[in-house]
Structure 1
């Protein structure tokens, strides 16, 4: 969500978004763990090759971009003193 939309939400809607973010944390961690696991297996079997590097790049991208909305919701809750 954009900052503009987060500012327009009510306190209750923000708290609901925060509760939903708990399940997305598990999904994001699973995606990152899966990518790291594939990279580890590929490293063990074939050494440093493209199949080793690609999942690590995906894990970094997932870590960087999947938590953005969660951080924005946390910042908005903190600005409203709801956390």
Structure 2
């Protein structure tokens, strides 16, 4: 299923989506730090390999999730739903 743009969501969908992807900054920071450690270990032991690409992709997804959350928060403010 393709994700709808934030502006296309109904009010109820917007509120549910915001609750679903609410970030936890401490957990995200710990997880990103752990993944950076895995990348450094992978580069020291094996140079550039598959083990290096997986954490990079996961870090990208975590950062993309927080950007979508910011877009949702802005749309909620715009619609006065907070």
Q: Which residue of 1 aligns with 2:53?
A: 53
Structure 2 unmatched ranges of 5 or more: 1-5
Cα distance in 1 between the residues matched to 2:58 and 2:45: 20
Render the CA deviation track for 1:9-56: whole Å, top value 9, x for unaligned. Answer: xxxxxxxx7xxx5x7122222222221211111111111111112111
More helix by share: 1
Q: Please, what is the CA RMSD of the aligned residues?
A: 3.0
Instruction: Provide TM-score, normalisation by structure 2.
Output: 0.57
Q: Which residue of 2 aligns with 1:34?
A: 34
Note if 1:72 corresponds to 2:72: yes
4+ residue runs over 4 A deviation: none
SS at match of 1:36: helix
Structure 1 unmatched ranges of 5 or more: 9-16
Q: Which residue of 1 aligns with 2:43?
A: 43
Aligned length: 68
Describe the shift of the 1:7–1:48 C-alpha distance in structure 2 as closer, same or farther (beyond 3 A): closer
